[in-house]
Amino acid sequence: MKMRIVALIFLVAFLGCSSPKQKETFSVEKARNTLDFAAVQYRNFVAAMPDTIEPRTFQGDTMVYAGIKWWTSGFYPGSLWYLYEHTGDDFFKKEADKRTRRLEPIQYVTNDHDVGFMLYCSYGNGLRLTGNQEYVDVMITGARSLATRYNPVVGSIRSWDHNRDKWDFPVIVDNMMNLELLIWAAEKSGDEFLRDLSIQHAYTTLENHYRSDYSSYHVVDYNPETGEINQKNTHQGFSDESAWARGQAWGLYGFAMMHRVTGEQEFLDHAIKIADFLLDHPRLPEDKIPYWDFDSPDIPNTYRDVSAASIISSALLDLSTMVEGSQSEKYFGAAETMLASLSSEPYLASEGENGNFILKHSVGHLPGNSEVDVPLTYADYYFLEALHRYIDLKEKI
């Protein structure tokens, strides 16, 4: 009897060791299945969406909308374009075109730095997929409107116009994302000023936004007459000296993108340092979905930020094409883990829930008690972009 008990214990132990519960690996098939699910969600989204307003989030069983001048207005049409790219279905093409054209007045906006988000995610994807030349003039005009916010003394594009009692000339790290429109417009129009100011803005951000560990401040405020720094803040993070997760994501994506479109080696070097800061951070969870701020004192009992993970995963896939060997494998592998996590519970919605958004558990502005633990339109957008990048890269192997 004793020998039988020992044998049974050994068998249970053996089975436990030989058949561990592994996290599901990711694949092209899984990515395509997730895109199929996203298409189902967004068909429901289209059916429920008013024609004259854009989705922002879904909170407390209520859809929150915004007008076309809200900074996220380009993400919904951009997501529709990605779903058209995946499905080839004119249903998505027609809706994407309609939603994109609603943003035409944004080309004349000069009081907002997010014109790049608004136009490049919508018109830019539409042009890429259809070649529709009617989109070109809108994008070039929008880029020139954005360029009016550049101050050559500071060497940056002004971000916010609000809170003038707090900041003189605030520049946020998010602004790196709006440079892609300017670089594209410079190449399309031959206006080298647009390229030059974009490169200078990136170098100014590299020099002044980053700490010695390659984490980023959110806001740097300048004296617009002298270019001197007034103060450095992290407005949407835990504290001024903390590493707000989405701010790190914007910087990583922005510098990788700027290397891709300009070839400047310093931008690649900086993107690598940001990526290593993130991926080697002791507070990055095993599933690679970051907490809303890497320095939150409540870790691990605090919110994850799926929007940061979506942006980072897309950026890492981009960055993996710019380096070689084990470094490329590190970035691609981390992005793959993120996409596997995002494509599963608890982050992926179920059909018909979550206001028809794809992803759950993003954080917009926790200190301001705004958009906390909710779906966000830009989380969906960069997730769809990352899925497309993943499939493209895997199919080239």
Q: Distance from CA of residue 334 to its chain's centroid?
A: 16
| Separation of alpha carbons 280 and 18, rounded Å | 29
Residue 188 burial class via C-beta count within 10 angstroms: exposed 0-12, middle 13-18, buried 19 and up: middle
Secondary element (H or E) of residue 4: helix 2-18
**Residue for token digits 């970051």?**
290
| Separation of alpha carbons 339 and 30, rounded Å | 10
- Residue among 331, 351, 333 at smallest CA distance from 341: 333
State the SS3 of 160-173. Answer: CCCCCCCCCCEEEH
Catalytic: which of 174, 221, 305, 318? 174
Q: DSSP labels for 140-196?
A: HHHHHHHHTTEETTTTEE----S-TTT-SSEEEGGGGGGHHHHHHHHHHH--HHHHH
| Separation of alpha carbons 111 and 160, rounded Å | 8
**Residue for token digits 């007034």?**
230
Residue 66 burial class via C-beta count within 10 angstroms: exposed 0-12, middle 13-18, buried 19 and up: middle
Q: DSSP labels for 29-80?
A: HHHHHHHHHHHHHHHHHHHH--TT-EEEEEETTEEEEE-TTSTTTTHHHHHH
**In this structure, what token pair is assigned to residue 164?**
């003038």
Catalytic: which of 112, 114, 293, 318? 114
- Residue among 380, 356, 394 at smallest CA distance from 82: 380
| Separation of alpha carbons 165 and 80, rounded Å | 39
**In this structure, what token pair is assigned to residue 190?**
């031959």
- Verify whether residue 213 is a known catalytic residue: no
- Verify whether residue 114 is a known catalytic residue: yes
Angle between helices 90-101 and 28-48 (to 10 degrees): 60
Asked whether the bond before 170 is cis by omega within 30 degrees of 0, the reply is no
Residues involved in catalysis = 114, 174
